[in-house]
Amino acid sequence: MSPELIRLHLSQLKKAIIKSETNKYADNRKQEYHDNILTLFERIDSLDFSKCSISELIHYKYIIDFCFISIEFLDNSILTVIPHEIVYCLEKALSDWDDTNKYIIVISLSNDLNGFWFNSMLSLKEIYYDIFKADFSIFFKHRLIQITLPKYLSQDYLANVVLYHELGHFIDQRYGIIEKLSSAISLTNIEKIHYGEFFSDIFASQYIGEASNYYLHYIAHEAPDSESHPSTNSRIDLVEKFLNGKTDPILDHLKDATFKITGKELKDRRKIIKDDDFKAFIPTNIVSDEELHSIFEIGWRLWKNPLPEYSDKHIGEFDKYRIINSLMEKSISNYMVVNKWNKHVPH
């Protein structure tokens, strides 16, 4: 690392920042965050790196990387291919667990077909925000929850149930649930990792019920225990126990730790709605947040089972997939529109 390389990195960042200057965000919090990144860039750009040690230069490189990733996710968040309806559902789930309004979900698209993941860098690495405040006097009021999903599945509402699992990882790390549980009951490293996956599966199933397991079958097949994940069968089994109100030592630990740490319960939050509307080719009228999340389970149930209402009308598999996704999307977007409208229409 040298001052010249830092200067190169800064020039690269400047180019990305110039391109992002015309971004228009529907959410003011994103604009504030963006403005803070610009201020941070200007402060670093004005520094003299010629007298810095190698460690200091590495430190500044990390900060520049932080800015780059922030700009990447903010840029992506205004793309038309980002599924705003999915983000809305995740924000509703998030609000059950965090009412600080501090966290903003931003999505980036990946070329990896299995690329569903959550990264905690911009949301939970407080060390960065400590440094921005202490060393640059820049106070970031908000944090970005980075979620990545595959580009070719960005409007696939069946596949995107996985994002509830990724949100589960955020909630776990936000409260340090598994970290603290691990210290309290002395889990091994692998057990700790496995518990993290179990927690995220249970978290997701609170909202999307068995849809969590349907996609797990697809994405993880019948994988055995590994260093990064418990076996698929054990994950499915635990979710089934949770949804059926059965006990299990792992489930008990997770529920106990979650409640003691967050004050909130891991519980079935669904309100099951009928699938009659989808069978009749119309989006369903959602009236509550609990019903909102149930849309995913309906979509999956219809996809997995024969649908004579569709096959009798010469609707093949591809159109069945397209129609189910469209109806899921329209049901959610109608709920968003009606809620916004009702907030402002005079009564």
Partner 1 sequence: MYYAINQDNQNLEAYCSFLNEIVNTGNIYYANLFKEIISQTQNLIHTHDYYKVSSERFGIVKFFAHFPDVIKEIDVNNIKSEDFQKLSSCFESKFCTAS
Partner 2 sequence: MYLTKQEILDLYKSGELIIRPLLSEGQFGAMTLDLRLGTDFLVSFQGREPYIDATGDTECRPIASFFQETKRLIGETIFLHPHQTVLCSSLEYFKIPNNIFLTLSARSSYSRLGISITSIVQPGYCGCLSLELTNNNNNALKLRVGAAILQARFYRLEKDVDYFGVARKYACQVRPVASKVNSDKELEILKKLVE
Q: Which residues bind partner 1 (CB under 8 A)?
A: 55-56, 58-59, 62-63, 124-128, 130-131, 133-135, 173-176, 179-181, 183-184, 257, 260-261
Q: Which amino acid, one-letter code, is at 179? A: E
Q: Does residue 285 interact with partner 2 by CB under 8 A? A: yes
In the list partner 2, partner 1, none, the entry touching 183 (Cβ below 5 to 8 angstroms by class) is partner 1
| Selected range binding partner 2 among 28-36, 42-50, 240-248, 320-328, rule: CB under 8 A | 320-328
- CA distance to 29, 45, 249, per residue, from 6 (Å): 29, 10, 51
d(CA 315, CA 302): 14
d(CA 303, CA 298): 9
Assess contact for 146 and 118: CB atoms under 8 A: yes
Secondary structure (3-state) at 105 = strand
Q: Does residue 340 interact with partner 2 by CB under 8 A? A: yes
Q: How far is the CB of 322 from partner 2 (least distance, A)?
A: 7
For 293, phi and psi rounded to 5 degrees?
-70, -25
In the list partner 1, partner 2, none, the entry touching 1 (Cβ below 5 to 8 angstroms by class) is none
In the list partner 2, partner 1, none, the entry touching 341 (Cβ below 5 to 8 angstroms by class) is partner 2
d(CA 10, CA 41): 8
Task: Look at the alpha carbons of 128, 134, 136, 142 in this order and tell me if their dihedral is positive or negative.
Answer: positive
Secondary structure (3-state) at 145 = strand
Taking residue 81's Cβ as centre, other Cβ atoms within 10 Å add up to 10
DSSP string for 261-272: HHS---------
Q: Does residue 28 interact with partner 2 by CB under 8 A? A: no
- Residue from 5, 8, 58, 81 in contact with partner 2 (CB under 8 A): 81
Q: How far is the CB of 127 from partner 2 (least distance, A)?
A: 35
- Residue from 189, 345, 346, 347 in contact with partner 2 (CB under 8 A): 345
CB closer to partner 1, 146 vs 212: 146
Q: Does residue 280 interact with partner 2 by CB under 8 A? A: yes
> Which residue reads 């996609």 in tokens?
215
Q: Are strands 143-150 and 117-119 parallel, antiparallel or unpaired?
A: antiparallel
CB closer to partner 1, 62 vs 281: 62
Q: How far is the CB of 283 from partner 2 (least distance, A)?
A: 6
- Residue from 50, 80, 100, 186 in contact with partner 2 (CB under 8 A): 80
Taking residue 164's Cβ as centre, other Cβ atoms within 10 Å add up to 25
CB closer to partner 1, 91 vs 256: 256
CB closer to partner 2, 25 vs 117: 25
Token pair belonging to 74: 């903010």
- Residue from 341, 343, 346, 347 in contact with partner 2 (CB under 8 A): 341
Q: Which amino acid, one-letter code, is at 313? A: K
Q: Which amino acid, one-letter code, is at 62? A: Y
d(CA 92, CA 44): 36
Q: How far is the CB of 167 from partner 2 (least distance, A)?
A: 22
- Residue from 26, 54, 127, 134 in contact with partner 2 (CB under 8 A): 26
Q: How far is the CB of 297 from partner 1 (least distance, A)?
A: 31
The residue ranges that bind partner 2 (CB under 8 A) are: 26, 80-81, 84, 280-283, 285, 313-315, 319, 322-323, 326-327, 329-330, 333-334, 336-338, 340-341, 345
